[in-house]
Structure 1
Amino acid sequence: MLRNPARTNGLYIGTVPEQAAAARPSTTIMLDHSLDVLPDVSGYLTVGELADHIDDMAARLYAAGVRASDQVAIYKNNNFDIYILASASARIGAVPVMLSPALDGESTAALLARLDRPYLLTDDTKLDGPLAGADLVSVTHAVLSVSAARDGVVSLQDLAGSPRREPVLLAPDQPALMTHTSGTTGLPKLVVHSHRSLFGRYRPQRRLGKLLKTGDTAAIHLSYVHSRMYLGMAVLLQRGLHVAVVNDTGNEKIAELFGRIRPAFVETHPNSFMEWEELVDDPRRPFSNVACFSSTFDAIHPGTMDRLLKASQRTNPVFFQIYGQSECGPLTGRHYTRKNAHKADGRCLGYPMPGITKYRLVPRNGLKPSRENPGYIEVSTPGRAIGYYGEKERFDKQAFGKWWRGGDVGFSTKVGCLHLLDREVDVIPGIHSTLEVEDAVLQRLEELAELVLVPGPNQEALPVVCTRQGEPLDLARWKRAVADLPKMADPIQIPLAELPRTATMKVQRIKLASILREQLEAAS
């Protein structure tokens, strides 16, 4: 009998859909795109069919030589079949290694070299693009593709009909999944999750799932290579929700899709929510039935929560703001309503998950942590990863017994509410909190789609702005809006699409600062 992820000390992502299908096989998965590995599948599939496709792909991978504990690096075009292929790898006891489709070829080759001669699972888009000319033979055991076979590449298409295999369930503390960090500070680190640590992340998310009604529709736009995708699907499938998986986040597509399916639950990255703000007055009322919005990965601006909650026609819709990290999963959180979202403190990250997570603040300079003197945020959680692959010393530098220092700085209120002011690497001299300044300006200038403060060539606070429609920024209006804020340089305006982002849509601040510094130096 397969293990139920709600009743063991390990979460086995390769068997989650099969468990869900045993209870509710007709629950639907809606797709706004076809699958690269199964081009005939698009539109709708049931959870029963999803489980069968995962079983089928697991059989094909086994026929290709993949065995328990082998590493399967998945680097392909952005598509829901990434979830299917990762689950299939896990089903036969292999360790899926999730590499973002946005990674360049050089970074991908470096991460492959760090691994233990993995199987590379890819497609023609990557082989003819970022990986063209790469020496894959020396860093991989074999190259597998969802596209047609070619010299030196095994096609999964040619392995259709391979004998099915029983699932392999390794010990809870064995590696179960590898994901890379956001990549905001150079070459990503490969975070190793065990079955036990994944279950530690599943527990608090399962609590949120209990607020959702079986049979409702959940719409999700999440990175397929992030651990959140696998935990989110585990919660939604086990709860029996219909799931709409969104690839195309363009406002017109979202308005049409949400206006048609009327989701009761919506989860995506904060930046996507910001872009969807423009739809609050759309006559199709895409958010009218949403009872619960959920955001993680990064802080979200209070004005965004306020506008989206007001777009719902439900009696008491809520917006959950969750603070988490790639290495630890969800850590703190709180919910907002129409009554308080507009006056929310954007730096507030809420409270620990009762009985699951804890945090403490550690002095940075010998002084007691406070708003004026923020301390290191350290957390304790059963969801903490077991290491960085190939970088044990790097991981150990951030681990202090059961506590983990993730690089954020903040303070705590008298009632124990955690507030994040900045990542340590993003602190700018003279600016108390870059995130706090950004919140304030975005609240005052509704024409801004995004504002990012980065250090300029002389470490001055340099605002980078993007307007919603690409219209020129009114500099006089800007100056009035920032008159009472810390001193900043004149803003630089760029198109929203030119902001460098991670797989979870976070702005890569260090990379952005480097690009602007080079441009300013070249122009001087």
Structure 2
Amino acid sequence: MNAKGLRAALAADPNIGAGNVLGTVLAHGADPAGPGLIFDTEVDGRPAGYELTLGELDTMVDARAAWLHARGIRRRDPVAVWATAAADTVLSFLALTRIGAIPALMNGKMTPEIAAEYIRRLRARGVLADAAHTELLAGHDLNAELLGQPAELGTGDPAAAPERHRHHQDDPIVITHTSGTTGVPKAVLHTHRTLFASQRHLLSMPQAQGTNRVLNALPIPHTATVLMVCQILCNRGTMLCLSQQDGPTVLAAIERWHPEAVYGFAVTWADLARFDLSTRDVDSVRMWFNTGDCAHETHIRRLVAVGSRETVTRAGRTRTKGSHFVDGLGSSEMGHNGFHVTHTPDSDHYGRRIGRVYKFAEAAVLDADGAELPAGTIGRLGFRSPSMSPGYWNDSVTTYRARLGGWYLTGDLGYRDEEGNYYHVDRDPDAVVGDGYYTALSEERILAACPEVLDCTVVIVAEDGGIVTDVLLELVPDADPDVDRTETIRAALGEPVGSTLNRVVAIRQDDVPLTVTGKVRKFLLRQKHLSRGSA
């Protein structure tokens, strides 16, 4: 069956979901000799970069399912997976869902204390941890059995694998987690149905250009990577999964592997924008796809200036210099980007525009009581979609606190225009009460106005009855860090934030505290500010 016919068959299959994509694709006649996945580390004796066929991938998953089943793992058993290598996490996910268990995927950058507490809250049946993370867990009470290392699962006998679990659409199939900006991350549950809802929609549409050869630079344990595994298997494309998502690693992979599309978070684009990409071998890239937090204009412009894309002219299809950047706003809870907007080198629709809602979803801007606000008025973003998580694992209180008037509250502040485009101004916890005091919007203005600033962090604090703003700047290498930039930054900020500017500090990239997925932990910066006072 060709790829187009397979996509149509999968879209019409009422039983497919995020828990059984691999088996269902094969059952519909996909060629076992066709593409499976590519990992950046050695797996089961195969070297890094080896292109697994679909059949080889299925056999490797069977071996792991047999190993898990022999150790008593059964359907509905939550199993935590804490590892660094992409192969360890992805193959463990596929094997656990193969037998109906519930993989709980954990970011390898968690601290041991937070990881142990997270596992305890999961009430996990068992834990799979690689050697480094097994050592980190030593001495911690997990209230769960350490089953072994993910790489050991490959020693199972594929012939001993149990029958594939027959998923119901409401079956839980994965637990991922939020970035943990304020402490222990929230455990986000997704079902067979919710995590395939966006893919079912995409399968009914023409396949986007650049999605046959994908570099996955998304955090591996994140919901977004699970979505990408489903997407690439359904599209019968090729995907290289990176275990690390920093700029140098991603750029080296682009130059070595020549992908058509690169998927990642805003922190990766900011890191890539530090390089002079015009001198690098990135012409293969047609599309950059961003999820999580929306990206900054200055970083997007540096990416779309390179690569190439197909355009339609009177002479037919032709390749044009400059690529696409698909921006938006998403989260683990939303299950897929809720919004989308496409940029090219000719774009002028920035200003933190996150675009329109996907056709399978709905959004609204709400006041504190859940009433919808008119166009142009900033409020809380509400979202609803068949892709939405049903809630937080073992935490009904937090689940229902995030709902208001039938909407899920994304934790973001924004507005919409009369044409139905949405704009993001800040994360709710990072904004200060008062019209116009928004940190993300302030960062956007500084980056747009100051070419010598590579990245920046704005911290706005309410204290002593007033508002105080600190600005942390990461400068280009040849910029003088001792130059007083206060008035330049004040002008870029505009009113009312500019009038509250307290200090402008040049910093290094490593000076800003980040979550495991690369978000700035602004609450820590606010605490530091308050603890030292406004000198």
User: What band does the TM-score fall into relative to the shorter chain?
Assistant: 0.7 to 0.9
Q: Is residue 466 from structure 1 mapped to residue 469 from structure 2 by the alignment? A: no
CA distance in 1, matches of 2:471, 2:308: 36
Q: Given that residues 74 and 122 in structure 1 are in contact (C-alpha distance below 8 angstroms), is that contact kept between their aligned partners in structure 2?
A: yes
Match of 1:86 among 80, 93, 98: 93
Match of 1:53 among 51, 60, 77: 60
CA distance in 2, matches of 1:505, 1:438: 16
- Evaluate the alpha carbon distance shift between residue 311 and residue 126 of structure 1 in structure 2; reply closer, same or farther with a 3 A threshold: same
What one-letter code is carried by the residue in structure 1 that aligns with 2:231? Answer: V
- Give the drift of 1:91: 0.6
What one-letter code is carried by the residue in structure 2 that aligns with 1:319? Answer: F
Who is 1:260 aligned against? 256
Alpha-carbon deviations, 1:255-297, whole Å to 9, x = none?
A: 44322332211111111112112444453422x1222211010
Q: How does 1:508-523 map to 2 (within 5 A)?
A: 508-518=521-531, 520=532
CA distance in 1, matches of 2:219, 2:39: 15
- Evaluate the alpha carbon distance shift between residue 31 and residue 61 of structure 1 in structure 2; reply closer, same or farther with a 3 A threshold: same
Q: Given that residues 94 and 176 in structure 1 are in contact (C-alpha distance below 8 angstroms), is that contact kept between their aligned partners in structure 2?
A: yes
Alpha-carbon deviations, 1:404-462, whole Å to 9, x = none?
A: 12221211101111112112211135643221211111122233232111234835122
Q: Is residue 68 from structure 1 mapped to residue 64 from structure 2 by the alignment? A: no
Who is 1:325 aligned against? 331
Who is 1:270 aligned against? 266
CA distance in 1, matches of 2:159, 2:68: 9
- Evaluate the alpha carbon distance shift between residue 168 and residue 202 of structure 1 in structure 2; reply closer, same or farther with a 3 A threshold: same
Q: Given that residues 12 and 90 in structure 1 are in contact (C-alpha distance below 8 angstroms), is that contact kept between their aligned partners in structure 2?
A: no
Who is 1:146 aligned against? 149
Q: Is residue 448 from structure 1 mapped to residue 453 from structure 2 by the alignment? A: yes
Who is 2:40 aligned against? 32
Q: Is residue 495 from structure 1 mapped to residue 508 from structure 2 by the alignment? A: yes
CA distance in 1, matches of 2:259, 2:166: 34
Structure 2 alignment gaps of length 5 or more:
1-5, 310-318
CA distance in 2, matches of 1:271, 1:179: 19
CA distance in 2, matches of 1:393, 1:9: 32
CA distance in 2, matches of 1:104, 1:147: 19
Q: Given that residues 32 and 248 in structure 1 are in contact (C-alpha distance below 8 angstroms), is that contact kept between their aligned partners in structure 2?
A: no
What one-letter code is carried by the residue in structure 1 that aligns with 2:426? Answer: D
What one-letter code is carried by the residue in structure 1 that aligns with 2:502? Answer: A
CA distance in 2, matches of 1:365, 1:400: 8
CA distance in 2, matches of 1:440, 1:504: 24
Match of 1:476 among 481, 484, 490: 484
Match of 2:389 among 385, 402, 415: 385
- Give the drift of 1:195: 0.9
Match of 2:162 among 145, 165, 179: 165
What one-letter code is carried by the residue in structure 2 that aligns with 1:277? Answer: A
- Give the drift of 1:319: 1.3
CA distance in 2, matches of 1:284, 1:494: 27
Q: Given that residues 441 and 482 in structure 1 are in contact (C-alpha distance below 8 angstroms), is that contact kept between their aligned partners in structure 2?
A: no
What one-letter code is carried by the residue in structure 1 that aligns with 2:284? Answer: N
Q: What is the percent sequence identity of the aligned residues?
A: 23
Q: Is residue 232 from structure 1 mapped to residue 240 from structure 2 by the alignment? A: no
- Give the drift of 1:70: 0.6
Equivalent pairs counted in the alignment come to: 504
User: How high is the TM-score relative to the length of structure 2?
Assistant: 0.85
- Give the drift of 1:116: 3.0
Who is 2:314 aligned against? none
CA distance in 2, matches of 1:252, 1:244: 16
User: How high is the TM-score relative to the length of structure 1?
Assistant: 0.87
Q: Secondary structure at the match of 2:86?
A: coil
- Give the drift of 1:385: 0.9
- Evaluate the alpha carbon distance shift between residue 515 and residue 67 of structure 1 in structure 2; reply closer, same or farther with a 3 A threshold: farther
Match of 1:292 among 270, 287, 304: 287
Q: Given that residues 256 and 284 in structure 1 are in contact (C-alpha distance below 8 angstroms), is that contact kept between their aligned partners in structure 2?
A: no
- Give the drift of 1:55: 1.6
CA distance in 2, matches of 1:115, 1:281: 43
Alpha-carbon deviations, 1:54-85, whole Å to 9, x = none?
A: 12111111111100111111112343320110
Q: Given that residues 79 and 128 in structure 2 are in contact (C-alpha distance below 8 angstroms), is that contact kept between their aligned partners in structure 1?
A: yes
Q: Is residue 504 from structure 1 mapped to residue 517 from structure 2 by the alignment? A: yes
Q: Secondary structure at the match of 1:489?
A: strand
Q: Is residue 427 from structure 1 mapped to residue 431 from structure 2 by the alignment? A: yes
Who is 2:355 aligned against? 350
CA distance in 2, matches of 1:9, 1:366: 34
Who is 1:174 aligned against? 171
- Give the drift of 1:125: 0.7
- Give the drift of 1:336: 1.4
Who is 1:151 aligned against? none
- Evaluate the alpha carbon distance shift between residue 261 and residue 172 of structure 1 in structure 2; reply closer, same or farther with a 3 A threshold: same
Q: Given that residues 63 and 154 in structure 2 are in contact (C-alpha distance below 8 angstroms), is that contact kept between their aligned partners in structure 1?
A: no
